[in-house]
Chains A and B, each alone.
Chain A
Amino acid sequence: MEVFKNWSGSMSFKPGQIIALESEEQLCELVKKATSEGKKVRVAGAGHSSSPLVHTKDYLLSLKHFRGVEDPDLKTKRATVPAGMTVKEAGKDLYRYGLAMHNTGDVDVQTLAGAIGTGTHGTGKELPNLSAMLYGLRMINGKGEIVEINRENDPETMQALQVSMGSCGIFLKMRLQLEPAYQLYRKEYCVSFKDCMQNFEELKKNRNFDFYWYPRTDLCKIRIMNTDKEKMPHISYGSPELEREGPSHEILPRSRDLKFDEMEYVLPQEKAMECFYEVRKQVKEKWRRTVAWRLLIRTIKKDDALISPMSGRESVTISLHHNAGLRFWDYFKAIEPLFLKYGGRPHWGKKHTLKAGTLKELYPHWDRFQKIRKKFDPESTFLTPYMNELFNFEK
């Protein structure tokens, strides 16, 4: 039996079978077979989630054969991306057609379907997470039927499917609402914590802005990106570390060689910085003895997906990192209550300890989501034990 391992190596398991089918018909048949056998089906993207979303002892699917951007339309600024494509591949292909995504996360090696499915985000207070691009879907539901749906013919259902972690069906193709291709300018500076905080509100006005805080030096690294339309600010209080310019899909992501584990919480913007100050205090007093990895603070625009972590709230995220292989849980579990105290919602694809009972309280549209999910997957073919813990606290 083949072992499936996530990127950091902190989550591994042996699925019954890892299958990479090549046609929609084969996929439909497999879902029907699994449903009739009472078995579970999960789809894995690039394995970049560290929560056990794709953990199953039955069928684990890969859609790696489903690639190649289709039907680009410059007038509506839409194109269709098959679900096996990574963010990087999609970005490159779209660029050839004069289109681009409004943002990416910090890396582009995830599949776009996986990134959309967990509400993966970049930074920028006017920029929602990647799932907000989803205009329409072609997918396979839990009965093994192909369903086509979009924001015009069924906006309510789309709000449920947008961030759904593969719990409603297997995405085959995603119709995306995009932007005309654009250039980005990127600058990074090392600044003192005091300067970073004093200028935080001003810095947030940049198209993309985030900062790292380094626990062992109390220094920050600010990262700023703008298009031609905005002006690059002059940062007199920082020492320059990097300057780049190019098409958005090349400038937005960075590469990550050093493996880490991560907990990230999404906080309501009004409370986030108070939370960050408390986290920083605790890290300095207790955790920097063993932890040297930086914390990352980002801003994200609200969206209306039913269980997106940014649903209905202008948001700021705080993420903790620790070297892969070191004891990250002690640290993460000690800080997690602070995130919850300030109303934080966990990133679906990263480490957290929440179960349905707590999660339900964080999402006003929780029940609506569950109703729609059950409609698409009445036999719970996509509901593995972990997904069940996330969704069904009453069992």
Chain B
Amino acid sequence: MRKIGKLDWAFSGGRIPFESTGEEPEFNSHDKISVLNTSEEAAKIGIFIFYEDQAPVGNYEVEVEPKRLRKIRINDLIDPEAVALERNYGCYIRSNIPVVVQFSRMATGQQANGIMGSMAFPAD
């Protein structure tokens, strides 16, 4: 299968909501990236988190297997350090092979769940 997508991606509107309602883990409020790897090769992904008032944190290392999709909740990243909830952040995603990255947020702080999603910005 062809490699499709880009090597470098970014989004700037990160902020993981703190409040959640409903069963966990399904209904935890979260920010998430979905990474699609259509190629025959594993994609080695590096995630860098940017803040308003401190130096970026990263590299958070993640692998996406050949011809697979992987959903990554930003809330669950702890290495090198946990990403704080309710704090503005931006994100740069670097891959060794072209991939497609979509960003989404689920906010369940109120009974009526809110979900939004958009493409991350393909930078290269």
* B25 lies within 8 A of A217 (CB): yes
| Chain A interface (Cβ < 8 Å from any Cβ of B) | 193, 216-219, 258, 288-293, 323, 325-326
Residue from the list B18, B24, B82, B86 in contact with A292, Cβ < 8 A = B82
Residue interface bits B61-73, CB-to-A below 8 A is 1, else 0 = 0000000000000
Number of B residues near A (Cβ < 8 Å) is 16
Kindly report which residue of chain A lies nearest to residue B86, judged by CB atoms: A289
| CB neighbours of A326 from chain B (8 A) | 81-82
B28 touches A258 (CB 8 A): no
25 pairs, CB–CB < 8 Å, chain A vs chain B: A193-B24, A216-B28, A216-B75, A217-B24, A217-B28, A217-B76, A219-B24, A219-B25, A258-B78, A258-B79, A288-B85, A289-B18, A289-B86, A290-B82, A291-B82, A292-B76, A292-B77, A292-B78, A292-B83, A293-B78, A293-B82, A323-B78, A323-B82, A325-B81, A326-B81
Complex CA distance for A290 and B80, rounded to whole angstroms: 14
Which residue in B24, B77, B81, B84 is a CB contact (below 8 Å) of A218? B24
* A325 CB, nearest partner CB in chain B, Å: 7
**Bound CA–CA A90/B124 (angstroms):** 53
Contacts of B25 in A (CB 8 A): 217-219
Given contacts A289-B18, A289-B86, contact A216 B81 (CB under 8 A): no
Q: Which residues does chain B contribute within 8 Å of A216, judged by CB atoms?
A: 28, 75-76
Chain B residues positioned under 8 Å from A219 (CB to CB): 24-25
Query: A293–B81 Cα gap in the complex (Å)?
Result: 9
- Chain B residues within 8 Å of A, Cβ to Cβ: 18, 24-25, 28, 75-86
Q: Closest CB of chain B to A227's CB: distance in Å?
A: 33
Task: Identify which of B18, B81, B84 gathers the most chain A CB atoms within 10 Å of its CB.
Answer: B81
A323 near B80: Cβ-Cβ < 8 Å: yes
Minimum CB–CB distance for A20 against chain B, Å: 32
Closest chain-B Cβ to A321's Cβ sits at a distance in Å of: 9
Residues of B within 8 A of A293 (CB): 78, 82
A-B contacts besides A219-B24, A292-B82, 18 pairs, CB < 8 Å: A216-B28, A217-B24, A217-B75, A217-B76, A218-B28, A258-B78, A288-B85, A291-B82, A292-B75, A292-B78, A293-B78, A293-B82, A323-B78, A323-B80, A323-B81, A323-B82, A325-B81, A326-B81
Query: What chain B residues lie within 8 Å of A325 (beta carbons)?
Result: 81
B21 vs chain A, min Cβ distance (A): 12
Residue of A nearest to B75 (CB): A216
CB-nearest residue of chain A to B81: A323
- Complex Cα spacing A322 to B55, Å: 20
Smallest CB separation, B1 vs chain A (Å): 28
B79: chain A residues within 8 A (beta carbon): 258
- Which residue of chain B has the shortest Cβ distance to A260 in the bound complex? B78
How many Å from the CB of B45 to the closest CB on chain A?
18
- Shortest CB-to-CB span from B22 to chain A, Å, is 11
Closest to A292 in B: B82
Given the contacts A216-B75, A258-B79, A323-B78, A290 and B24 also touching, CB distance less than 8 Å = no
A248 to B80, CA, bound (A): 31
Distance in Å from the Cβ of B79 to the closest Cβ of chain A?
A: 5
Chain A min CB distance to B96 (Å): 21
Q: What's the least CB distance linking B105 to chain A, in Å?
A: 15
The CA of A219 and the CA of B18, in the complex, are separated in Å by: 17
Tell me the complex Cα distance, A217–B83, Å: 14
Give the Cβ gap from B83 to chain A, nearest Cβ, in Å.
8
